[in-house]
C-alpha cells in the first residue's frame, strides 16, 4: 500500500508555516483525496507514527523537527451543495485557501463570511479554532463538516453541536492530536443578509446599515484595509497572527480591574463575562516592539509575536513565557497561547 503513496522523507517545513520556523518532517504526504488517508490507515508502520494534519501552517508553532508523518491537506474544490428558502449551502474542500473561498462567496453575491476576510490558512483548519475576527465567528454560518477519523477509518459528519464550538476552540482542538482530518466544510449563507458592524472600527469606516451601498463586498473590502494596516504580512515577517487569546473574566473581576486601570479595553460577552484585549495588557508591560534575539513583539500590534530572522520555536516560547509572567505579575491574568505548539 505504501508504494501507492508518495511519502517523502525529511521534508523542510520552513515554507509551510507562516512563522518561517526551520523544522523538518520525518515523513510527509500531500493529501489529495480521502483514499490517501485510507491508505495511511492501512499501512501499519505509517499509521503508528505521530501525525500532524497540516493546512496553511498559519496557526502553528513548530518547536522541533516533527518525528512522524505530516499530512498536508491539499484537496481543492468548492460548489453550491444545496439551497432552500432560507439559505444557500456552499461546500469547500479542506485545502482551499480560506480568503479565496470567502471572496468567491462574496463574488457570487452571498453574504455571511465577509467579517472573516483575509484570515490566512485553509478552509479545513477554519473550524478547528472556530476562527473569529471583527465581531464574527465561523460558527455563526457553519452548517456541517466531513472528517476522516483515524481511529475508525470512517468519514464522519459533524453538525454544529457535534463541533462544540467556543471562543477559538472546538472538539478538534480538544481531541487527541492527529485523530481527525477535516475533509470539507459546508456553510449556510442566508438569503436575507444582515451586516455585522458591531466592531466600532468597522462601523466607523462604513455607511449606515440601511444604505444600499453597504454590501458584503464593501464590508469585506473594509476588513481587508483594516487588517492590512494593522497586521504584519507573514510573507514579509514570520508570525502566526494573535499569539495569545484575549482573557475572559467575570463582570466582577472586570469591574475591579477597570477601577485600577480605567483605560483597560474590555468587550461584554453574551454570557455576562468580559473579554479583555490581550494586546493592551502586553503593551502596558512595555513589550510592544521589543526583541529577544530574533524573537520579537510586533511594533504595530503587541498581540503578534514575530520571527525577525532565524528564531527557533523554543525562542518564541521563551519570549512568550516572559510576557505571560509580566502580565500575570501586573494584572493577575494568565494569557493562553492561541497557536498550536507542535
Ligand atoms: C497574519 C495572521 C492573522 C491571523 N488572523 C486571525 C484571525 O483574525 N482570527 C483567527 O481566528 N485566526 C487568525 N489567524 C490564525 C490562522 O490564520 C487561523 O487559525 C487559520 O484557520 C489556520 O489555518 P491553517 O490552514 O493555516 O492551519 P494550520 O496552522 O495548518 O493548523 C492549525 C491547527 O489546525 C489543524 N488542522 C489544519 N488543517 C486541518 C484539517 N484539514 N483537519 C483537521 N485539523 C486540521 C492542525 O493540525 C493544527 O492543529 C491569523 C494568522 C496569521 C498568520
**pLDDT 10s digits, 153-202:** 999 999 999 999 999 999 999 998 899 999 999 999 999 999 999 888 89
Same domain, yes or no, for 140 and 185? yes
Residue 3, pLDDT above cutoff 60: no
* Shortest-distance Cα residue to atom 3 of ligand 1: 241
Ligand 1 atom having least distance to the Cα of 239:
53
Number of domains in the chain: 3
Catalytic residues: 168, 242, 338
We report the CATH number of the domain holding residue 23 as 3.30.43.10
* Shortest-distance Cα residue to atom 2 of ligand 1: 241
Q: For a pocket test of ligand 1, which of 55, 176, 338 has the largest count of ligand atoms closer than 8 A to its C-beta?
A: 55
Banded pLDDT at 208 (limits 50, 70, 90)? confident
Same domain, yes or no, for 29 and 107? no
Q: Is 290 helix (H, G, I), strand (E, B) or coil?
A: coil
Same domain, yes or no, for 65 and 84? no
* Shortest-distance Cα residue to atom 19 of ligand 1: 59
Q: Yes or no: say if 39 and 153 are a contact pair by the CB < 8 Å rule.
A: no
- All cell numbers assigned to 156: 464522519
Banded pLDDT at 304 (limits 50, 70, 90)? very high
Residue 107, pLDDT above cutoff 50: yes
Sign (positive or negative) of CA dihedral 172, 174, 177, 180: negative
Same domain, yes or no, for 242 and 294? yes
Q: Yes or no: say if 275 and 267 are a contact pair by the CB < 8 Å rule.
A: yes
Q: Of 230, 246, 270, which residue is a domain's last? A: 230
What's residue 339's pLDDT? 97
Does the CB atom of residue 241 touch ligand 1 within 6 A? Answer: yes
Same domain, yes or no, for 69 and 82? no
Residue 336, pLDDT above cutoff 90: yes
The whole model's pTM is what? 0.95
Query: Counting every residue, how long is the chain?
Result: 342
Q: Yes or no: say if 1 and 42 are a contact pair by the CB < 8 Å rule.
A: yes
The radius of gyration of the chain from alpha carbons, rounded to an integer in Å, stands at 21
What's residue 2's pLDDT? 45
Strands (E), 191-242: 238-242
Same domain, yes or no, for 302 and 188? no
Same domain, yes or no, for 107 and 214? yes
Q: Which of 205-219, 233-247, 282-296, 299-313 shows the lowest mean pLDDT across its residues?
A: 205-219
* Beta strands 24-31; 8-12: pairing state: antiparallel
- Enclosing domain of residue 164: 78-230
Ligand 1 atom having least distance to the Cα of 340:
49
Amino acid at each position: 500500500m505504501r508504494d501507492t503513496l508518495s511519502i517523502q522523507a525529511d521534508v523542510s517545513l520552513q515554507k509551510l508555516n507562516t512563522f518561517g520556523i526551520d523544522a523538518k518532517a520525518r515523513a510527509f504526504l500531500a493529501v489529495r483525496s480521502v483514499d490517501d488517508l485510507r491508505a495511511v490507515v492501512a499501512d501499519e508502520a505509517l499509521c503508528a507514527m505521530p501525525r500532524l494534519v497540516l493546512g496553511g501552517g498559519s496557526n502553528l508553532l513548530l518547536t522541533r523537527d516533527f518525528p512522524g508523518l505530516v499530512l498536508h491537506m491539499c484537496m481543492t474544490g468548492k460548489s453550491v451543495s444545496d439551497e432552500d428558502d432560507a439559505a444557500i449551502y456552499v461546500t469547500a474542500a479542506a485545502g482551499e485557501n480560506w480568503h479565496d473561498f470567502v471572496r468567491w462567496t462574496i463574488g457570487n453575491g452571498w453574504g455571511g463570511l465577509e467579517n472573516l476576510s483575509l484570515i490566512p490558512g485553509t478552509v479545513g483548519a477554519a473550524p478547528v479554532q472556530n476562527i473569529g475576527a471583527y465581531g464574527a465567528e465561523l460558527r455563526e454560518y457553519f452548517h456541517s463538516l466531513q472528517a476522516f477519523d483515524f481511529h475508525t477509518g470512517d468519514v464522519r459528519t459533524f453538525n454544529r453541536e457535534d463541533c462544540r464550538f467556543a471562543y477559538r476552540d472546538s472538539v478538534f482542538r480538544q481531541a487527541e492530536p492527529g485523530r481527525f482530518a477535516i475533509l470539507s466544510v459546508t456553510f449556510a449563507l442566508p438569503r436575507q443578509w444582515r451586516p455585522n458592524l458591531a466592531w466600532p472600527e468597522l462601523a466607523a469606516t462604513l455607511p449606515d446599515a440601511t444604505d444600499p451601498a453597504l454590501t458584503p463586498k464593501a464590508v469585506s473590502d473594509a476588513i481587508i484595509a483594516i487588517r492590512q494596516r494593522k497586521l504584519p504580512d507573514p510573507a514579509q515577517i514570520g508570525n502566526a497572527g494573535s499569539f495569545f487569546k484575549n482573557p475572559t473574566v467575570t463582570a466582577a473581576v472586570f469591574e475591579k480591574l477597570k477601577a485600577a486601570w480605567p483605560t483597560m479595553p474590555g468587550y461584554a460577552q453574551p454570557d455576562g463575562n468580559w473579554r479583555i484585549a490581550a494586546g493592551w495588557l502586553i503593551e502596558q508591560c512595555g513589550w510592544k516592539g521589543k526583541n529577544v534575539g530574533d524573537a520579537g513583539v510586533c511594533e504595530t500590534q503587541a498581540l503578534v509575536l514575530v520571527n525577525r530572522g532565524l528564531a527557533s520555536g523554543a525562542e518564541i516560547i521563551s519570549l512568550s513565557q516572559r510576557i505571560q509572567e509580566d502580565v500575570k505579575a501586573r494584572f493577575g491574568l494568565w494569557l493562553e497561547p492561541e497557536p498550536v505548539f507542535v
